[in-house]
Amino acid sequence: MKKISIFVLLIVAVSVVFAVSIYDVQYTENPGIDELYPSPYEGQTVTLEGVVTGVLYAHYEDNIYIQMPDGGAWSGIYVYACGDSSLAVGDMVSVTGPISEYYGLTELGFATDVTVLSHGNPLPAPVIATTEDMASNEAYEGVLVELRDVFVSAEPTDYGEWYVVDTSQTPCQIDDGFFYLDSVDPEIVITIYDNWAAVRGIVTYSYDDFQLEPRFAEDLIRETSTDEPFITPVSSLTGNHPNPFNPETTIDYNLVEDAFVNIAVYNIKGEKVNNLVNSHETAGNHQVTWTGTDFDGNTVTSGVYFYMLNDNTTEMKKMILLK
C-alpha cells in the first residue's frame, strides 16, 4: 500500500507538459468573453518551438516573439520573461511555460525552460495584409506582417502611436514596442499624409486594439526594391482646383487604361467622409466635383481633407476647405 500511495503522490506532483505547435495554441473559433478569442491551452504548460522574429528594447530583452518557420496565420506568439536576454532574431528556440491571456493577448509567460536549437535561421515570410485585415484579425496575433502602399492618416502621439491607411480604407495603428523612432534613426520622421511603400512588423494586441510594431528602422520602407516590384499604377491624380476652395472643388484624374476606380474623401482622423467615384471607367482624362458634403449630404466643417484614388494602386493628395 505504501508503494501505491507514493506512486500516486508522484503522479499528482508532476505537472503535465504538452508538446504542441504555436498554431495549436493560437488557433480557435471560440470568441470567448468580449470576443478576445482565448487560447484552447489557456492555463496549461506547453513546449513550443519557433524562430525568434523580434526582441523587445532595452531592459526587456527576454521578451520575444517566436513564429513557426513556415509562417502564415496563427503561427506566432509572444513570449514574456523567458529569462534569457541573449536571444537574437533568427534563433530557433524551444520554450516551455504556461499559456495565459493578458487582457486579450495570448502569451507564454515566465518560461521554465528555454533551449536554443540553432542560430541564424531564415525568418518566415511576412504575411501581406491590408490595414483592415490587420486591425481586426486575431489570426495575425504574434505574426510577422507587411502592409503595402500606405499613407499616414494621423501623426504620432506622445506615446509613439501613429496610424496608416491603405486601399481597404481602414486605419491601422502602428506602435513603438520595439524601438523609438528618434532614438534609432533621426532621419525617420513620421508626418501626416506621408506615403510608405511598406511597413513591416509584428502584430500585437493592447488597449483593445490590434497594432503593428516595426522591429527596427529597416521595417519602414520608403521605396520598393527592384526585385520585388509593386503593381504598376494605371492611373494618376492630377490635382484639384481651386485649392483651397469654397464651396466646391474639381478633382482631375487620368486613367492609362480601363479600370474600376474608387475616389474617396477622408478627414484628418483618417475617417472616410464621402465616396465620389466607385465605378468602372474608360481610359482617359476624368473629373469629379466635391461640394464639401458627407455621405448624408451634410456640409462638413472647414479644414484639411485628403482624397485618395484606388484602382490597382493608391494615390493621395491634400485639399483645404475654407469657410
Residue-range definition of the domain harbouring residue 278 = 235-321
Pair 6, 84 in one domain: yes
* Ranges 53-67, 79-93, 138-152: which has the least confidence: 53-67
Residue ending a domain, among 153, 188, 221, is 221
* CATH number of the CATH domain containing 242: 2.60.40.4070
The answer to whether residue 13 scores a pLDDT higher than 60 is no
Q: Is 264 inside a domain boundary? A: yes
Q: Is 56 inside a domain boundary? A: yes
Pair 12, 111 in one domain: yes
Q: Is 228 inside a domain boundary? A: no
Q: Is 226 inside a domain boundary? A: no
Q: Which pLDDT band, with edges at 50, 70 and 90, does 9 fall under?
A: very low
Task: Pick the closest to residue 68 from 80, 51, 54, 55 (CA basis).
Answer: 51
Q: Residue 202, SS3? A: strand
Pair 207, 283 in one domain: no
* Residue-averaged pLDDT of the chain: 83
List CB contacts of 259: < 8 A, sequence separation 6 or more.
234, 235, 280, 281, 311, 312
* CATH number of the CATH domain containing 207: 2.40.50.140
Pair 36, 109 in one domain: yes
Task: Pick the closest to residue 111 from 45, 42, 26, 27 (CA basis).
Answer: 45
Pair 113, 53 in one domain: yes
Residue ending a domain, among 199, 221, 243, is 221
Pair 19, 95 in one domain: yes
- d(C-alpha 284, C-alpha 295), whole Å: 27
Pair 209, 276 in one domain: no
Q: Is 143 inside a domain boundary? A: yes
CB of 137 closer than 8 Å to CB of 238: no
- pTM score, two decimals? 0.66
Pair 96, 138 in one domain: no
Q: Is 108 inside a domain boundary? A: yes
CB of 22 closer than 8 Å to CB of 50: yes
Please, what sign has the CA dihedral across residues 299, 301, 303, 305? negative
The answer to whether residue 68 scores a pLDDT higher than 90 is yes
Pair 242, 192 in one domain: no
CB atoms within 10 A of CB 142: 29
Pair 22, 43 in one domain: yes
Give 160 or 241, the one with higher predicted confidence.
Answer: 241
CB of 121 closer than 8 Å to CB of 91: yes
Task: Pick the closest to residue 63 from 182, 267, 213, 172 (CA basis).
Answer: 213
Pair 68, 104 in one domain: yes
Pair 197, 239 in one domain: no
Residue 185: the pLDDT is 57
Number of folded domains in the chain? 3
Distances (CA, A) of 309 to 29, 159, 167, 194, 320: 36, 31, 9, 15, 17
Determine the Cα angle at 112 with ends 137 and 177, to 5°: 40
Q: Is 75 inside a domain boundary? A: yes
Take residue 47 and report the three cell numbers written for it.
513546449
Cα R_g (the chain), whole angstroms: 24
Residue ending a domain, among 118, 142, 171, is 118
Which residue in the block uniquely carries the three cell numbers 541573449?
A: 86
Q: Is 94 inside a domain boundary? A: yes
What's the pLDDT tens digit per position in 221-252? 886 544 444 434 446 777 889 989 999 999 98
